[in-house]
Amino acid sequence: MQPILCIVGARPNYMKVAPLMRAFAQAEMPAHIVHTGQHYDADMNDRFFQALAMPAPIANLQVGSGTHAVQTADVMTRFEPVVDAQKPSCVLVVGDVNSTIACALVAAKKGIKVAHVEAGLRSGDRSMPEEINRILTDQLSDFLFTTEPDAQTNLLREGINEASIHFAGNVMIDTLFMMRPHAIPAAQILANLGISGADARFGLVTLHRPATVDDPVIFADMLRALAAVSDALPLVFAVHPRTRSNIDKFGLESIVRGKAISFIPPQGYLELLGLQSAATLVLTDSGGIQEETTALGVPCLTLRDNTERPITISQGTNTLAGRNGEHIVRLAHERLTQPFDTSKRPRGWDGQAAPRIAAILKNLLQ
Ligand code: UD1
């Protein structure tokens, strides 16, 4: 069997590909990682490879940052020779970043099978670059592995053949269950921030989406909301490079000055897992964190107008809080003062999604 090429490019990809590489090795299926280099800082990259004990990529395309067109085109032109050299049986892409659509498109045009893990998620919001990446990647894919039942409904509505769709569960939760015993205790990180005690209450914040942090008015309103929440609950804010640069560019630092908000750099996987597990409440615009908090049973407020992961609301701990500051503060106080069911878990988020995908792919590719 020719190798499967597994694509990683940006931070949310590593925890999805790590369990797949293990499952392929166990099933004796040859597989290699190709890194597009969409993310390149050690904090967004090398640290995850180490923490997740991932095999080194056979190629790093080093595309770096750029406009969507430049980044996507660079991945395509640099990935093509790798495909020509490796002659893979299949190109496996995960999630919805620019590297996902770029590599899927190269493979599909070369007549190479494309597997999409985390297929069928839809926010219904085409102003999100990820939504465009999701729709097009699914149209190009031969094997579509889904994480929740709504995904199948979305794919069928878009004309995807039902036989190509396989419910697999959530590979990111495979990684979460495997790494949970190795998580860095939150107390270790909090001690340096002046939040002490093994059972200290704190809220964890991550924001990085263009819709949240690229508009100075919306971002300022968000920061004012966080400042208000921090009067009731100290906050720890792990700051993405895009977010950091916009706080500086828009001069927003003064909104949070003197407030109980600790700004820390982007965290490694084991550090963020420790923080998420111990948090009283998580406030985020991330897709993955909506799922991780659901698996951990930690209440999450998603500071967006929509989610492509509705099961985290119906079967999990997530609440869509929108982007209006006052509404966010009201919901945060509700979560902190009123009982909330954190016991539900979606089907197939059981730590075995990657072995299921390996078994199905082995059968399909032979
Ligand atoms: C990308 C993904 C997004 C994902 C996010 C996770 C797309 C369209 N977006 O968004 O879905 O949720 O990754 O982080 O693929 N930068 C650095 N160091 C890095 C990488 C980026 O400083 O290692 C800075 C650069 O200034 C860059 C900016 O962050 O311009 C944004 O990076 P980019 O990869 O374009 O998009 P993300 O916002 O990270």
Question: What's the confidence (pLDDT) of residue 38?
Answer: 97
pLDDT exceeds cutoff 90 at 194 = no
Q: What is the mean pLDDT of the chain?
A: 97
Residue 241, classed as helix, strand or coil, is helix
| Own/partner long-range contacts of 251-257 (Cβ < 8 Å, ≥24 apart) | 252/216, 252/219, 252/220, 252/223, 255/220, 255/223, 255/224, 255/227, 256/223, 256/226, 256/227, 256/230
pLDDT exceeds cutoff 90 at 195 = no
The reply to whether ligand 1 has any atom less than 6 angstroms from the CB of 137 is no
Amino acid letter at 363?
N
User: 26-35, 170-179, 195-204: which range is least confident on average?
Assistant: 195-204
Q: From the CA of 38, how far away is ligand 1's center (Å)?
A: 7
Ligand 1 atom closest to 288 (CA): 12
* pLDDT, tens only, 331-345: 999 999 999 999 999
CA-to-CA separations, 204 to 105, 147, 284, 306, 308, in angstroms, rounded: 37, 25, 8, 20, 21
CB 325 within 8 A of CB 305: no
pLDDT exceeds cutoff 80 at 197 = no
How far does the chain reach from its first CA to its final CA, in angstroms? 7
Question: What's the confidence (pLDDT) of residue 87?
Answer: 98
pLDDT exceeds cutoff 90 at 326 = yes
* pLDDT, tens only, 2-29: 999 999 999 999 999 999 999 999 999 9
* pLDDT, tens only, 227-257: 999 999 999 999 999 999 999 999 999 999 9
Question: What's the confidence (pLDDT) of residue 198?
Answer: 67
The reply to whether ligand 1 has any atom less than 6 angstroms from the CB of 241 is yes
CB 169 within 8 A of CB 353: yes
Question: What's the confidence (pLDDT) of residue 205?
Answer: 98
Nearest CA residue ID for atom 20, ligand 1: 39
Nearest CA residue ID for atom 11, ligand 1: 97
The reply to whether ligand 1 has any atom less than 6 angstroms from the CB of 129 is yes
Residue 283, classed as helix, strand or coil, is strand
The reply to whether ligand 1 has any atom less than 6 angstroms from the CB of 312 is no
* pLDDT, tens only, 290-324: 999 999 999 999 999 999 999 999 999 999 999 99
Q: Which residues pair with 237 in a beta bridge?
A: 205, 263
Residue with tokens 């990684």: 175
Mutation pick for ligand 1 pocket among 16, 60, 65 (CB with most ligand atoms within 8 Å): 65
Other C-beta atoms closer than 10 Å to the C-beta of 303 total 27
Q: From the CA of 39, how far away is ligand 1's center (Å)?
A: 6
Nearest CA residue ID for atom 2, ligand 1: 97
- DSSP one-letter code for 349: -
Residue 146 CA to residue 337 CA, distance in Å, equals 35
CB 291 within 8 A of CB 172: yes
Let me know how many helices (H) and strands (E) the chain has, helices first.
17, 13
pLDDT confidence tier of residue 96, bands split at 50, 70 and 90: very high
pLDDT exceeds cutoff 80 at 68 = yes
Largest CA-CA distance found in the chain, in angstroms, rounded: 61
Residue-level length of the chain: 366
Q: From the CA of 129, how far away is ligand 1's center (Å)?
A: 12
The reply to whether ligand 1 has any atom less than 6 angstroms from the CB of 39 is yes
CB 148 within 8 A of CB 165: no
Six-digit token pair at 210? 């263009």
Question: What's the confidence (pLDDT) of residue 243?
Answer: 98
208 an active-site residue? yes
Q: Which residues pair with 263 in a beta bridge?
A: 237
pLDDT exceeds cutoff 80 at 82 = yes
Q: At what angle do helices 11-26 and 171-179 cross, to 10 degrees?
A: 90
pLDDT confidence tier of residue 199, bands split at 50, 70 and 90: confident
Nearest in space to 320 (alpha carbons), one of 342, 295, 301: 301
Q: Which member of 35, 116, 208, 240 is catalytic?
A: 208
Q: Mean per-residue pLDDT for 64-77?
A: 98
φ and ψ of 177, to 5 deg = -65, -40
Residue with tokens 């690229």: 214
Cβ-based neighbours of 58, under 8 Å, separated by 6 or more:
32, 33, 34, 82, 86
| Percent of the chain topping pLDDT 90 | 95
The reply to whether ligand 1 has any atom less than 6 angstroms from the CB of 246 is no
- DSSP one-letter code for 78: H
pLDDT exceeds cutoff 90 at 140 = yes
Residue 178, classed as helix, strand or coil, is helix
Nearest CA residue ID for atom 15, ligand 1: 97
* pLDDT, tens only, 110-122: 999 999 999 999 9
Residue 305, classed as helix, strand or coil, is coil
CA-to-CA separations, 306 to 289, 290, 299, 313, 349, in angstroms, rounded: 15, 12, 17, 11, 22
